[in-house]
Amino acid sequence: MDQTVAFDLALIRRYDQSGPRYTSYPTAVEFHDGFGEPEYRRACARSSASGRPLSLYVHIPFCDTVCFYCACNKIATKDRSRAQPYLERVYRELERQSALLGADRTVEQLHWGGGTPTFISRDQMRELMDHTRRRFRLAADGLGEYAIEIDPREADVQTVVLLRRLGFNRMSLGVQDLDPVVQKAVNRIQTEEETLAVLEAARAEGFRSISIDLIYGLPFQTVDGFIHTLERIVAFAPDRLSVFNYAHLPQRFMPQRRINEADLPSPHTKLDILKTTGELLTDAGYIYIGMDHFARPDDELAVAQRSGSLYRNFQGYSTHADCDLIGIGTTSIGKLDNTYSQNRRTLDEYCRDIDAGCLPVFQGIELSRDDEIRRAVITRLICNFALDVPNLEQTWGIEFADYFSDELPKLAPMQEDGLLTLDAQQIRVLPKGRLLIRNICMAFDAYRSAEDRPAGFSKVI
């Protein structure tokens, strides 16, 4: 397939509105407390019967300092002794989940996210992986995707060597911006040398895919300043790059209140940064995968997109199609059979549930058949920029034009604007529509019509 992207600023401005990032459909806003432990246990039984491979997500919520822009689920603390009591609960949760989901099923994906997973000591990392391997059967290195989020300020060469030995074969490195003025404004001081040292160690140890996270839209960012960051990062030649749009939602994320809004770049500057980023990375040989992600053409993500086998989950894009996902630790989200579920958000509540012998699931959703059909449409569009209509009709026993008779007229203006083409065989997202993929997906989202602008979602661009 054609993997090019076109930056049409006038169109982007016209379509700019709030919208979900579709790491799930329905999105987490639709989760409710009518879904708890009994519903989760029933989903586990269905999942076990299916024998589908598993994906494990383990959340380590702690960070040594807080970055003011951060929208992740984290606890800022200098007190490292807080990690052990939390990990003890995580081990008990691993044991309970393994008993429910069958220790004999293969885990094809493992992800440690945060917070800062390397906040814990090297001994604790060893112990956590020991417990995981004792409870679950991890696929061989060549077959499994074992990823960890790394803050280079919290990792050194020895840590990288250990992580590879423990089985990790991919990592993402948080960088955000190399400009000291921007770094000071967001309380994340991190030298280029720190980042490069971790990246080079990861390469030397044989990590298969190394990704770098950047954010545009941070205070004091300019087009020229961000070009400098990008040029330096491209010189490091990471396999993947995530260039996130800064989501400034200070009502929801307390630390963001410490960012002075007057210091944020204007929407005009942000769009210029976006356009320049796309051009610079494309010229440097990266492919735009979609939703803030770029990858080298030979990276697995780019290859999977070309062959139509790319998937998307809570951790972003993936090449592993239909794994059932077990979320371990505070705030983690699971996806089992036709359900999503979420663990308790606070450390106290999570520990209380574990200590009481319960599972810490506090909300979730069981998908209806309609939800599943819409999820299938949204997943194909967001991952492959295309939807094979006869294939969908056959899989779900529907007549596409009839089933989506309310939705298809919403695509007509997008077709006129050159965002997509639509016929009886397929929907194809054109280069101009790729940055606006969320808008296209929103047309199929039964929970929000394109006119709604619910609070809490970030802008599409």
Residues interacting with ligand SF4, by CB under 6 A? 63, 66-67, 70, 72, 74, 114-116, 151, 174
Give the chain's radius of gyration (CA, Å): 22
Per-residue binding string, ligand SAM, 164-203, x by CB under 6 A, is ----------x-x---------------------------
Query: Beta-carbon neighbour count of residue 262 at 10 Å?
Result: 6
Residue number with CB closer to ligand SAM (213 or 353): 213
* Least distance from ligand SF4 to the Cβ atom of residue 68, Å: 8
Helix (H) or strand (E) holding 144: none
Stretch that binds ligand SAM, among 22-30, 221-229, 240-248, 409-417 (CB under 6 A): 240-248
Binding partner of residue 215 among ligand SF4, ligand SAM, none, CB cut-off 5 to 8 Å per kind? ligand SAM
Residue number with CB closer to ligand SF4 (8 or 194): 194
* Least distance from ligand SF4 to the Cβ atom of residue 254, Å: 11
Helix and strand numbers, DSSP H then E, in the chain? 16, 20
284 class by beta-carbon count within 10 Å (0-12 exposed, 13-18 middle, 19+ buried): middle
Stretch 144-163 residues interacting with ligand SAM (CB under 6 A): 149, 151
Contact yes or no for 223/273 (Cβ under 8 A): yes
Between CA 294 and CA 3 the distance in angstroms is 11
Binding partner of residue 66 among ligand SAM, ligand SF4, none, CB cut-off 5 to 8 Å per kind? ligand SF4
Residue number with CB closer to ligand SAM (168 or 246): 246
Residue number with CB closer to ligand SF4 (54 or 75): 75
* Least distance from ligand SF4 to the Cβ atom of residue 241, Å: 16
Binding partner of residue 6 among ligand SF4, ligand SAM, none, CB cut-off 5 to 8 Å per kind? none
Burial call 240-256: b when 16+ CB within 10 Å, e when fewer: bbbbbbbbbeeeebebb
Contact yes or no for 361/342 (Cβ under 8 A): yes
Q: How many residues bind ligand SAM (CB under 6 A)?
A: 16
- Provide the terminal-to-terminal Cα distance of the chain, rounded to the nearest Å: 24
**65 DSSP 8-state letter:** S
* Least distance from ligand SAM to the Cβ atom of residue 245, Å: 6
Residue number with CB closer to ligand SAM (149 or 194): 149
Binding partner of residue 299 among ligand SAM, ligand SF4, none, CB cut-off 5 to 8 Å per kind? none
Q: Is the dihedral of CA 95, 100, 106, 112 positive or negative?
A: negative
Based on the shown chain and the rule CB under 6 A, indicate whether residue 303 belongs to the binding site for ligand SAM: no
Between CA 274 and CA 59 the distance in angstroms is 30
What is the phi-psi region of residue 296: left when phi exceeds 0, alpha when psi lies from -120 to 50, beta otherwise? Answer: beta
Per-residue binding string, ligand SAM, 206-225, x by CB under 6 A, is -------x-x----------
Which listed residue (7, 25, 57, 69) binds ligand SAM by CB under 6 A? 69
Residue 1, Cα to own-chain centre: how many angstroms? Answer: 24
Which listed residue (61, 114, 225, 327) binds ligand SAM by CB under 6 A? 114
Report CA dihedral (197, 200, 205, 211) to the nearest 10 degrees: 100
Residues that bind ligand SAM (CB under 6 A): 69-72, 113-114, 116, 149, 151, 174, 176, 213, 215, 244, 246-247
